[in-house]
Each structure stands twice: as C-alpha cells, then as structure tokens.
Amino acid sequence: MKYIIVILVVLVYFSSEILDVLKLSQMSSDCRRQAIVFYCIAHVKQIPVHIKEANRSYSRQFALFEQGRFTDGAIVTNALPSESKHTIGQAFDVDLTNLDRNQFDELVDIAVKLNFTNGSRFKSLIDSCHFELITKN
C-alpha cells in the first residue's frame, strides 16, 4: 500500500512534466529527440516551460486556420494543414505565461542551438510560443 501512495505522490507532483513529455513523444523521431533535449535543458536551467501543443491533426490545424477568418477569435496561424510543421510532428508550442523576458530569450537560445526556430522571428504573423525544427528541403 505504501508503494501505491508513493507512486501516486510522484505522479501528482510530476503530472505536468509527464503530460509534456507525452505530447512531445507524438512528434516525428528527429524532432522528438531535439524537443525532449530542449525541454530537459530548460528544466535544468529552472525555466518553467510547459508544452501547450505538439503534433496536430489536419482537422485541428484547419480549425485554427479558420479562426479569425471564418469563425470567432483572432487569427493565430497562416498555415493550412498541408503547410504546418505541427501536422508532420516537427513543431510544438509552449506556454509563455510564467516566463519573464530573460527566461524567454534563454529558451530561444536553447532552441537555436538545437536547430529550432522560434515564431517570434516570423515575418508575417508573430507566434512567440511556436518552436519548429529547421529541416532541409
């Protein structure tokens, strides 16, 4: 019985981290490795990063594309499902609400070293929470 209690305490204490890693585990293999390293380095540096979304279905991406154009809300993406790195498992979004500017800048530095680009560098629609693997075409 005491082992069950210990396991439950660990699961509750680390539940958000477990969910974050599960989200990253659905990405393409090359991106998954880099994203998990990104996540681990951020936590070692005590940057409170959490994954909002990683791999996305075509229907979810299309719904986000329609937002602000054909449905209520602000425009959040310019990418159709066939253009989104999320739908091929090569992008993830982080929750920025608990980060200060220095922590965010440090996250971007970590990402760049791991061959990711950040949506704060996009030219048309700034998407600071977005990180995507830079791939060769």
Q: Where are the domains of the chain?
A: 2-133
What's the whole-model pTM score?
0.86
Task: Please check the confidence at residue 10 and state whether its pLDDT lies above 60.
Answer: no
> Which CATH number does 2-133 carry?
3.30.1380.10
d(CA 58, CA 87): 6
CB 45 within 8 A of CB 106: yes
Query: For 93-128, how does the pLDDT look when each residue is reduced to its tens digit (9 = 90+)?
Result: 999 999 999 999 999 999 999 999 999 999 888 999
Q: Dihedral through CA 64, CA 125, CA 36, CA 5, nearest 10?
A: -50
Query: For 48-96, how does the pLDDT look when each residue is reduced to its tens digit (9 = 90+)?
Result: 999 999 999 999 999 999 999 999 999 999 999 999 999 999 999 999 9
